[in-house]
A and B are shown apart, each in its own frame.
Chain A
């Protein structure tokens, strides 16, 4: 747990959108996908996933419907709307610029942590 980073404010939304980029998922699958796609570095407090999903549903970034899970239980599936996809692209670009800038600024110290 120590090497996992606390999620930065607002970043959870982007990660969720990213997880949904390949197709509809239910909440539990989203949590696993987020974790997996960040190389198990980013850990979601799973409880906070749902408010985030509802908030994005309100904003029209995702939509949802009830369906059947792989083990045939009733589950709610989320998928990106067109607006959601657009938002994801913008945010991903912004994150890219941000992390690039951060890395450049912190280059002298990068790697020391590993030593």
Chain B
């Protein structure tokens, strides 16, 4: 043991500068010791000879001298401590500074020794802090990458983003004085025909000047420049690192390769660095917009002119948009058709709504850390109590109060640093989970990384935690009366530390209650939006989305043919019960509106602005098990040659015809394809259309045969869930090997993955945001609860040990087990009750921050709070029970004999 013991002297001996200092110090210490010894020896000699002269025997004289002098050892030790202490009054600042590193090393070494002597204690503290700090490092890594770090563009603070503008207005903005440059872009999912097979990729068709605007250099090759926008130029594409590696191997090798995006062949001219994202959409490739239609969404990035502010730019953009609108108003455009363009900083637009969620994340992480600190402070207090004799001795040996404080702080900081290092080990994993638990990446997640900045943050947090946790102990160090500690022996504790300890537990419970309230509310939200019973059968379904390219599927006839073939071939697979097709499958976020013409017999308050329009094949409603309430379903007999028919859902029927039966009525209106009218033949039961809102929307179902579309979803009903994805994929591949199979499940900002998906995954994707919020807060709340329970337990266990004697006496004079049990449990539950009350008050206020994440539950939902009270009381009771049981097993005779 002692051979492996870490000795600071040995370390110091290797450093010449320190060695010199150490030798110098040791020499001076030796000299002082010699002098004191000589002085005391002289004194004793004088006293003894005087006694002997007065006629005492040598033995008596020696004894009398000893008694007269008192403890020689103490005088010597005290003398050495005083004279060898490093702070003589006249010491110069320079000398003090020079001794600082040595003193620091000494303090740290001493702290290390002291911690090694209490391994259980050290481990408990380190683990607690590792949890708290690890969670915070992970949270901060994400927050820093997403919210704090500037976008990786040239002068990103001068970039702004315009959305919801009319394309004509964007063109008119070319002359705006407050803008130095502007480039619009669209967003387009296209089929990529590549060596690995067809896939759907997201591209950003961009206008001239887009790459120059951001000033991000490609990793290989070049960006798109004005040469690429000249009519007749060879079509160029810039790939993301991700796509280049997936399809073409090394980015260097990608340059010059031809790839087919949609209908056209493009030559790869550049590959961007990994994680590059220009503006708000996460895409796979950038290509020059081939026509104005690709830029019709009114999205543009712009750079502010020198000296111009965002406000000036916004004012000018709005004015120009207004002007364009007035000059170019369609005759039928009402005032509500014009919307002012949205102008935001680039950063705001990239972050979007992710910021609020991250704020919740950061808050919960900090709360967990506070609880961890409180627990550690409690542990330190307990330990300090049993260490009073040690402090007293050190104080008697000349360690000043400052010295003890320094040592306590050093110990605590050391523990926190080790905890932080341990936490840093789990932080990358936690960060990864935080980034990916949502199912799709957070904006700017490419910029999230662990670096020196994060490390500095972690260490700073660790130090802050260490000092914070040591504070109660330091404040409770008895000032001059340390000598009392020698007598105290650790069995008595003054009122101060106990008060602090109890306050800490109350605080912990309160913070845990706040977190628990948040968790409960988010859980209720999650349950509210969870489409377990969305009004249609999803458990036995696979879904895929098809977007047919115009070149090979030019008209409705070819679409119908393909859908027929898909239904037939997929239906032949063993285990498939039925196959149907629909446009805009529910829960995918896809919407195709049907605007009904205003009727004279219904008030505007009931009239829906639009119905969700789905063109479905025969068998869709049956396969989804949306029962027909009145009239009939859509049948394969409803085709091109028959009357245009439709089925409404309950909501639509009751809002269009509140007073009568909808069946048989005619509804007129327009879709994106133009004016149309349908005869209502039936009414189906309601189902959900979107995740995140449980209320049914008005829907209208029309026969796909009558209104075929080039983009649709296939719905495969199977015998057993979780099967057939591979064979079904094969079937689609065989019908058209170059057709991308798109996952219908919604991802961020409309992006979609590739491959057939079980319908359950589509539903999960629709509620990924509430689920993510709930999961994050739930994980942190669980951590908080664990720590708090341990905290309550530790305080009570300590209290029982402290009161062993008292409890022994009570039992000796006849206290029953139940009354001892009650004594301890009461003490603990009192704290829990205070914490619960305090936490509830704070939570009622604090959960308002969550309001935008809640659905169908108010921030002060009584059920949540009642449930939470039971939960906390139950858990608190459990934490009290164990020490209480231990108290009842105290043996009165042993307890009374205890010191």
Contact = CB atoms under 8 A, between A and B. Distances in A.
A50 B275 CA distance: 73
Contacts of B88: 58
B103 interface: no
B35 to A, nearest CB: 7
Contact of B42 (A45, A48, A69): A69
Contacts of B43: 27-28, 31, 46, 50
Interface in A11-53: 26-28, 31, 45-48, 50-51
A50 B38 contact: no
Interface stretch (B76-84, B131-139, B295-303, B835-843): B76-84
Contact of A73 (B45, B70, B75): B45
A85 interface: no
Given A47-B74, A58-B82, A76 B89 contact: no
Nearest to A59: B89
A73 B38 CA distance: 11
Contacts of A28: 42-43, 46-47
Contact of A26 (B36, B42, B70, B72): B42
A60 interface: yes
Contacts of A57: 83
A45 B82 contact: no
Interface string A71-115: 001111000000000000000000000000000000000000000
Contacts, number: 60
B659 interface: no
Interface string B52-95: 00000000000000001111101100110011000011100000
Most interface-central of B39, B40, B68 (chain A CB within 10 A): B39
A35 to B, nearest CB: 10
B35 A76 contact: yes
Contacts of B69: 45-47
Interface string B460-482: 00000000000000000000000
Most interface-central of A48, A51, A55, A57 (chain B CB within 10 A): A51
A46 B35 contact: no
B47 A46 contact: yes
Contacts of A75: 39, 42
Contacts of B75: 47-48, 50-51
A27 B39 contact: yes
A55 B89 contact: no
Contacts of B39: 27, 50, 75-76
B68 A46 contact: yes
Nearest to A73: B42
Nearest to B71: A47
Most interface-central of A27, A50, A58, A75 (chain B CB within 10 A): A50
Given A46-B43, A73-B42, A73-B45, A55 B82 contact: yes
A57 B83 CA distance: 9
A109 B520 CA distance: 75
A10 to B, nearest CB: 12
Interface residues of A, number: 21
Nearest to B49: A71
Interface string B17-49: 000000000000000000110111011011100
Main DSSP-derived SS at the B contact region:
helix
B42 A50 contact: no
Contacts of B35: 76
A73 B78 CA distance: 25
B47 A54 contact: no
Contacts of B70: 45-48
A74 B82 CA distance: 22
B777 to A, nearest CB: 59
Contact of A54 (B46, B83, B89): B83
Contacts of B68: 45-46
Given A28-B42, A58-B88, A74-B42, A50 B79 contact: yes
Contacts of B71: 47
Nearest to B90: A60
Contacts of B46: 28, 69
A47 B72 contact: yes
A54 B45 contact: no
Interface string B88-125: 11100000000000000000000000000000000000
B398 to A, nearest CB: 10
A42 to B, nearest CB: 14
A19 to B, nearest CB: 14
B495 to A, nearest CB: 26
Contacts of A50: 36, 39-40, 43, 75, 78-79
A96 B210 CA distance: 92
B72 to A, nearest CB: 6
A99 to B, nearest CB: 24
Nearest to A55: B82
Contacts of A55: 82
B79 A74 contact: no
Contacts of B45: 73
B89 A58 contact: yes
B510 to A, nearest CB: 45
Nearest to B40: A50
Given A48-B70, A50-B75, A74 B38 contact: yes
Contacts of B89: 58-60
A67 B42 CA distance: 12
Given A26-B42, A74-B42, A75-B42, A51 B90 contact: no
A48 B88 CA distance: 20
A108 B754 CA distance: 105
A27 B47 CA distance: 11
Contacts of A58: 82-83, 88-89
B737 to A, nearest CB: 93
B43 to A, nearest CB: 5
B673 to A, nearest CB: 98
B47 to A, nearest CB: 7
B637 to A, nearest CB: 110
A56 B46 CA distance: 23
Nearest to B82: A54
A27 B88 CA distance: 21
B402 to A, nearest CB: 16
Contacts of A51: 75, 78-79, 82
15 contacts: A27-B39, A27-B42, A27-B43, A28-B42, A45-B70, A46-B43, A46-B68, A47-B75, A50-B36, A50-B78, A59-B89, A73-B45, A74-B38, A75-B39, A75-B42
Interface of A: 26-28, 31, 45-48, 50-51, 54-55, 57-60, 69, 73-76
Closest 7 CB pairs of A and B: A47-B70, A47-B75, A28-B46, A51-B78, A54-B82, A45-B70, A46-B69
Given A46-B68, A48-B75, 18 more contacts: A28-B43, A28-B47, A31-B43, A45-B69, A47-B72, A48-B70, A50-B36, A50-B39, A50-B75, A50-B78, A54-B79, A54-B83, A55-B82, A58-B89, A73-B42, A74-B38, A75-B39, A76-B42
